[in-house]
Structure 1
Amino acid sequence: MIRPWEYALTMGEVFNAHLTQRPDKTALTTTDGHSVTFAQLEERTNCLFNALSAQGIQPADRVAILSYNRPEYMEVFGLSKTGVIVVPLNWRLAAPELLRLLQHSGSRALIVEENFVPIVESLRNQLDKIDTYIVIGKARNGWIAYEDLVTKADRKTPEAQAKPDDVLCLVYTSGTTGAPKGVKITHRGALENCRSEAQEMLSLTEDDYALAVLPLFHVGGMWYHLFPSFATGCTSLLMPQFDPEKLLQAMQDWKITNVHLVPTMVGALLNHPRVDQFDLTHLRIILYAASSMPAEVLRRAMRTFHKCSFAQAYGSTEAGTVTGLYPEDHILAQSPDYEHILSSCGKPFKNRQIRILNANDQEVATGEIGELTVRSPGIMTGYWNDDAATRTTFQNGWVYTGDLARRDEQGYYYIVDRKNDMIVTGGENVYPTEVEAYLYADSRILEAAVFGIADPKWVEKVVAAVVLKSGEAATENELIQQLRNHLAAYKCPKEIYFVSVLPKSGAGKVMRKSLRNQYSQ
């Protein structure tokens, strides 16, 4: 019996459902016409596993991929149906960072888009556990061409089948608060998160046409978007990198119905000079996630893209999808009495338990700030080869997210800030996102980040880095005085640095840690 994907517990069951129900439908495509149907995806994945098996790769071995978004990426993820553990790598990392992840994961095979072959070659003599190097592109010395493997291998269906609680992939955290850690995500956990997004939040059907521009090495690209779209049977357009002009053009040309963006991407679209000239009438919903969106930016987006719905998802690599601010919440927020919920991350998805705890692990009262903890079928099972970190984050079945949050009387949750980003200045707590919200209210500011650096008088002092819009001007004193009209003096930056760009992770999050390191010196 073939389970419909809504009841699937493994990626193998999802593939089987598509093979039965929609084999000839296009599953994935690109703007240059590279496409694959669900049946072709199944066959190519089988061939890839059989070829790797001939190279000695077995279930539970790790296979890493370093590539931009492309259909082959999903073929590699398809290996998980056999029990192989997929290790998606951040293509923005420097060589020493990639080396650490490959060594830590114990990957035995590495699949690399040809753009990244030189960086891997520079590490090759230190990668003693990797037996097989595969290039998505032309074969070369020491590298097997991906297409040669897939087209020449046996097409038989592998006998090995993953179980629901087997690890599907190791997703390495961005390192915004420390060294990256490999998060173990199971088949059961990934599909639980898929169902929350696809059914509760996005109301996806196989008639939807999705656009995936978030990188697939990040959970935002995986179970916040592509996995739900793929599992539902949608066709997904894959884009390798974010470019506002190309994204708007693709949304128009391909009649995209849903897209997942991070707030910095939404801001870039809003600031495109011709954003109003693209035909986006097919766009049904914009999902934003990965970091909080300043309320003023969100209001502007809702005015600009007024014909489509908006939804927000909050979660983390470790905790899975946790809460959602649904399209109906965004409509409700048009009323002045409910405008405040635009600053929230919504209410819990089904099967989610949330506690907000103080430093003594006691639940705080409504309205008070504490650390948000989560228990659900979608959480991680721990960190790969890191028992100490697992014991800290994963306690008695609960994931301690490191996010400071509060809950209001209506049951909406608000992420105040990252626990490690909170600034303690002169004995007072300052939450950067609160200050950033007032900076974003200034129409001249494109991007802003507030962070703390060491100070002999205050222990930490509040500072900010600001990117102004093209053609705009502002002074440090002007912005600081403006903030003092709304905030207590201790919350206002002592210094403001004007910069051309803010450092961001592969998922589009502003790297406050990098800013702290830069300006502390």
Structure 2
Amino acid sequence: STYHSLLGVVRRRPEVRAGLAGVRVWGVGGAPLPTPLAESFRTTMGRPLLDGYGLTELGNVALATPETPHGCGRPLPGVRLRVRRPDGSAAEPGELGGIEVRSPGLMAGYLREDGSLTPVDPDAWYPTADLGSVDADGTVRVVGRNQAVHRLGFTLYPESLERRAESCGRPVKVLAVEDQRRGSALHFVVADPAGEAPLVWRRRLAEHLAEYEQPNAVHVVDHFPLTANGKPDTRALRAQLGLELEPGEGPGPVRRPGAGH
């Protein structure tokens, strides 16, 4: 959200860019970096917006650099990362799957209510519950949470759909709602300050999605509500649109992977 706002200011006031010329590195984290934002930032600012991947439990995992600006870069020294299919077998290069990490930065364990510790095995692969891939050159690409939904016989990943849907030019959230007939109904929410009609956005989204991935409904909002740490607040967005909560999105904190910054 910060970088979308920054680009808006620079477009309206080009003279601002000169004052930012001394910035050596632009970095971002906390949620997957949409491709349209990355491309727009490079075009407008003349430098890449470098993405990073990390978790509270593991610390920094992978960071893009000016030399390797794609995706989230490669795993940091001493960190090992692998991608697994649902059946536990190794994913091919570029194939989406569940991300597992081994890192010297792994936490000691989970703190219990009484102050004691539930330790974790420092030598085990840590299942991050994130969805992503590793290219043949080792570049890590994180899509989002590994939360599959089932619709009309297909297994779909809402955050994977979001990444492709954002090729329409605006941020998109995909909210799954239980549907007895379909399994799940998919509500696509577009953040569009100009407020173009949902039908307009439905047509634009259709170009980037397979037939079985098309929205059941399209909503347009000025902007996404944000959590205290600046991430889109899915629970608040569901409440705003009057959509029921998915399991794990009820009241109370939900662990999310943070960027390693």
TM norm structure 1: 0.42
| Cα offset, 1:465, TM superposition | 1.8
Question: How many correspondences in the alignment?
Answer: 238
CA distance in 1, matches of 2:129, 2:121: 11
Aligned to 2:80: 353
Counterpart amino acid of residue 435 in structure 1: L
CA RMSD of aligned residues (A): 2.7
- 1:488 offset after TM fit, Å? 0.9
Match of 1:239? none
Q: What is the CA-CA distance between 1:360 and the residue it aligns to?
A: 4.2
Cα distance in 1 for residues equivalent to 2:164 and 2:48: 25
Q: Larger relative contact order (C-alpha < 8 A, sep ≥ 6)?
A: 2
For residue 501 of structure 1, give the secondary structure of its aligned residue in structure 2: coil
Partners of 1:275 and 1:432 in 2: CA distance: 36
Residue among 142, 145, 152 paired with 1:418: 145
Q: Report whether the alignment pairs 1:464 with 2:202.
A: no
Equivalent residues in 2 for 1:114-153 (5 A)? none
Give the SS at the match of 1:441.
helix
The alignment-based identity, stated in percent, is 24
- SS of 1:269's partner is helix
Equivalent pair of 1:318/1:399 in contact (CA under 8 Å): no
Structure (1 or 2) with the greater strand fraction = 2
Structure 2 Cα separation of the partners of residues 516 and 400 of structure 1: 27
Q: Answer yes or no: is the 8 Å Cα contact 1:289–1:313 preserved in 2.
A: yes
Q: Is the 8 A contact 2:167 2:208 kept in 1?
A: no
Rate the CA distance shift 1:449–1:390 in 2: closer, same or farther, 3 A. farther
- Counterpart amino acid of residue 374 in structure 1: V
1:451 to partner: Cα distance: 1.8
The answer as to whether partners of 2:187 and 2:215 remain within 8 angstroms in 1 is yes
Q: 1:319 to 1:513 in 2, by over 3 A?
A: farther
Q: What SS class does the counterpart of residue 327 from structure 1 fall into?
A: coil
Identify if the C-alpha distance between structure 1 residues 424 and 466 changes in structure 2 by more than 3 Å, giving closer, same or farther: same
For 1:142-291, list aligned pairs within 5 A.
264-272=1-9, 274-278=12-16, 279-291=19-31
Q: Max radius of gyration: which structure?
A: 1
> 8 Å contact 1:416–1:431 — kept in the other structure?
no
Alpha carbons 1:319, 1:401 under 8 Å: kept: no
Deviation at 1:385, TM superposition (A): 0.8
Deviations 1:264-285 (A, max 9, x none): 2111111225452221121111
8 Å Cα contact 2:33-2:51 kept in structure 1: no
The answer to whether the Cα contact below 8 Å between 1:284 and 1:309 also exists between their aligned partners in 2 is no
Query: Does the aligned pair in 1 maintain the 2:145–2:159 contact within 8 Å?
Result: no
Q: Give the aligned partner of residue 66 of structure 2.
A: 327
Amino acid at match of 1:319: L
2:158 equivalent in structure 1? 432
Partner of 1:500: 222
**Rounded Cα–Cα distance in structure 1 between residues aligned with 2:121 and 2:3:** 33
1:402-413 equivalence runs, <5 A:
402-413=129-140
- Which residue of structure 2 lines up, in the alignment, with residue 511 of structure 1? 233
Structure with the larger helix share: 1
Kindly provide the amino acid, as one letter, of the partner of residue 354 in structure 1: L
Determine if the alignment matches structure 1 residue 489 to structure 2 residue 211. Answer: yes
